[in-house]
Structure 1
Amino acid sequence: MKDYQFFGVDDFLEDAAFRQWVFSPLLTDNEFWNRWLAEHPEKEAIVSQARQQLLEIKGTLQPLSENYIDQKVMQIVQQAQMLNDSAEQSLPVIRRLNPTWYYMAASVALLLGIFWVYRAQQKPELAPVAYTQLIKTAKQPLHEVANTDNSPKTVMLPDGSTVVLYKNSRISYPKQFATITREVYLTGQGFFQVQKKPDQPFLVYASGLVTKVLGTSFFVKAYEQDKDVLVTVRTGKVSVFAHTDKQAAMQKAVPELGGIILTPNQQATLVRADKRLVRSLVAEPQRVDGPQKLTTSFVFKQTPIANVFAALERAYGVHIVFDEELMANCTLTARLDDESLYKKLEWICAGTESSYEEIDGQIIITGKGCQ
């Protein structure tokens, strides 16, 4: 389950489960959020502000005619049916959902699409910034290390943190970090393992992105000739925001994480062509449950589906959203030890007449329930 206690307003605005609760709450959504707010009263003001902003966004969108919405929904339905028919040819074990669920899924997709178009118009341009320009902004003299070899090169930073520098990569950093923040500048690709110092945030400047951490491990890939800039989290939690963000100065200075929050197996991609920042899951999510890997078994015998999804969340650190009430009668009998996360999800969905998709770094399950 996602840890909402560290969320700010922007994090709630970008969270799919929170948006569902605001726009089209299910009974289980109301129960969860009412219980969560009762347990975290200090977050009531932030949640209220995020909820109000969402409602205002919905209210300020230009009205769409019923005919226009119907046409758009039908287009999405037709596309979904074509994709599903194609999928059935390659995976005959997965059965098609009934048309009612296509219509509901398409309606949600249309609403979220309108929301994200609006949000994109409000965000600052994520213009890439060249490495030579970035290092000119440094407040301290910098020492540079470059790697032109084929083999990765490990660099020890002044605070004991390390970065594995890959081929054709360079990193610049001061000989002694400032007392408030630890700042480094990267071009190319590096894997960082950062010493935990909550009162002294660690900042990586790469192209148009700033990656902020308190102590964790993550990859940054920011070759200037590549189409995209990529930040991928291995362990812990990081935040990513635009170098040109109006609130960037404040986000750098305070200990708390802001911007887009990434957790293990999530990544943020700066798409240079569109100047937009996208959060998603990595292509091959890895186990994050540490020593428990040796004892955790994915052998299920008539196991309630909620318990199955909970086991996946613990193992991979990925948030799975589904209608607990609708799928309350669904169970699974299967052995899924060796499969990847996505293969596990395919088998689970095949056994429960449901489907999944990855949205904003989360897994969304859609199904009609089980008798």
Structure 2
Amino acid sequence: MSLENEFEKTWKKVSEEQHTIDDITDRKIREGINSKIRREKKIKKLYWTAAAVIPFFGLLILYYTFQKPATDIRQKYVYESRETPKAIKLSDGSVIKLMPYSKLTLNKDFGDKNREIEFTGQGNFSIAKDKTKPFRIDAGGFYVQVLGTHFFLDQKSEEKKVELFEGKVKVEHLGKVTYLLPKEIWISNSHQPDYHYYDKEKPMSFTFNHTDYSEAIQQLEEAYNVRISYPDEYRSKKVSGSFTGNLNDILSIISYPFNLKIEKLNEKEIQLK
């Protein structure tokens, strides 16, 4: 029974028995009962406050226990270049030339179980051969993996690029895998994602069977990632035969019957006239 109900019951009982209570006694009774009521309310308030606070701190403890990310305690080595290139020789014998404002990060235990690094910027890589431990580069958005090779990597330009000089390279980007052989190049930009083409000096074989000159030129453009312009009057001329050589060789052979001369405008454009 609450103190309020007990207070009411006491006064009803006194009234029924017609007892007379003087003013002083009346005041003492009231003050005693009110004091008990205040103590009970204070105890209830403390109880509910504690009941609310304890679960809150419990939730905080659980949050920091499960949500706080695990800290990688492994020590890392960081190499950076400033205005000038900087050559780094790793413990496995690999040599990496950092172009200006490039950065290389690897764990202290590099080479023990794997050869994994993080790279931003531009660099020339000469990777020591080790078939048991592939050299893997996290280039921020794509990965490059090699066993032992020499290549150029551009990670910071708008057009990402891997150009292979020796060996073999595997490039992984957005779930797609591209393999490169010497004098082959991989690029990725907003217009050409995962584009694989050949250095202009790489010998290739092409076969044309009564093919339009325009189609033969298009095949060369796609293979070597160049733009070739020529007089429109030769578009429908026919080309036949099997040819092997670099871009200049093939272009010279198929253009010879039309007496067209090659003029290199820049790295990406060639004009026939």
Contact 1:143 1:173 in 2 (8 A): yes
**Runs of 5+ in structure 2 lacking a partner?**
1-69, 211-239, 261-273
Q: Residue 155 and residue 138 in structure 1: after superposition, are their counterparts in 2 closer, same or farther (change >3 A)?
A: farther
2:86 matched to 1:153?
A: yes
Please give the alpha-carbon distance, in whole angstroms, between the structure 2 residues aligned to 1:138 and 1:203.
19
Partner of 1:235: 166
Task: Measure the CA separation in 1 of the matches of 2:72 and 2:138.
Answer: 10
CA contact (8 A) 2:164 2:185 kept: yes
> What residue in structure 2 maps to residue 168 of structure 1?
101
**Residue of structure 1 in register with 2:8 after alignment:** none
1:277 to 180, 194, 201: 194
1:276 is paired with a residue whose SS is: coil
The CA distance in 2 between the partners of 1:261 and 1:324, in whole Å, is: 29
1:320: which partner in 2?
A: 205
1:263 aligns with 2:197: no
Name which structure has the greater RCO, CA cutoff 8 Å, separation 6+. 1
Structure 1 contact 216–237 (Cα < 8 Å) conserved:
yes
* Alignment of 1:192 onto 2:122: no
Q: Tell me how far 1:274 sits from its aligned partner.
A: 5.6
- Give the drift of 1:280: 1.4
Residue 142 in structure 1 maps to residue 76 in structure 2 = yes
**Higher gyration radius (CA):** 2
CA, structure 1 residues 323+341, in 2 after alignment: closer, same or farther (shift >3 Å)?
A: closer
Point out 4+ residue stretches in structure 1 off by more than 4 angstroms. 136-140, 323-326
- Would the aligned equivalents of 1:191 and 1:220 in 2 still touch at CA under 8 Å? yes
Q: String of CA shifts for 1:274-315, please: whole Å, max 9, x gaps.
A: 682111123x53xxxxxxxxxxxxxxxxxxxxxxxxxxxxxx
> What does residue 345 of structure 1 align with?
250
**Counterpart of 2:83 in structure 1: which amino acid?**
D
Q: Aligned residues, how many?
A: 162
Aligned residue for 2:249, secondary structure, equals helix
Q: CA RMSD in A?
A: 3.4
C-alpha contact 1:187 1:207 (8 A) present in aligned 2: yes
Superposition deviation, residue 194 in structure 1: 0.5
Contact 2:91 2:111 in 1 (8 A): no
Distance of 1:137 and 1:205 partners within structure 2: 20
Q: Which amino acid counterpart does residue 268 of structure 1 have in structure 2? A: W
How far, CA to CA, are the matches of 2:107 and 2:162 in structure 1?
22
Contact 1:230-1:269 at 8 Å conserved across structures: yes
Identity value in percent = 23
- In structure 2, the CA distance between the partners of 1:167 and 1:138, relative to structure 1 (3 Å rule), is farther
The 3-state SS of whatever aligns with 2:83 is coil
Please list, as runs of the form range in 1=range in 2, the aligned pairs for 1:1-371 lying within 5 A after superposition. 140-150=74-84, 152-223=85-156, 226-242=157-173, 245=175, 259-271=177-189, 273=190, 276-282=193-199, 284-285=200-201, 316=202, 318-322=203-207, 327=241, 341-351=246-256
- 2: CA distance, partners of 1:269 / 1:167: 21
Q: For each residue in 1:220-267, what CA deviation from the matched residue of structure 2 results, as whole angstroms up to 9, or x when unmatched?
A: 1111xx31211110111101002x53x9xxxxxxxxxxx200111111
Q: TM-score, normalising length from structure 2?
A: 0.51
1:180·1:199 contact (CA, 8 Å) conserved in 2? no
- 2:52 matched to which residue of 1? none
Asked whether the equivalents of residues 161 and 193 of structure 1 are also in contact (C-alpha less than 8 Å), the reply is yes
Task: Select the structure that is richer in strand.
Answer: 2
Quick check: which one's helix share is greater? 1
**How many Å separate the matches in 2 of 1:145 and 1:162?**
13
Q: Is the 8 A contact 1:207 1:229 kept in 2?
A: no
1:343 Cα deviation from its structure 2 partner: 2.4
Residues 151-179 of structure 1: CA deviation (Å, up to 9, x unaligned): x2110112110100010111111233254
Q: Output the CA distance in 1 between the equivalents of 2:113 and 2:107.
A: 13
Q: What's the secondary structure of 1:191's corresponding residue?
A: strand
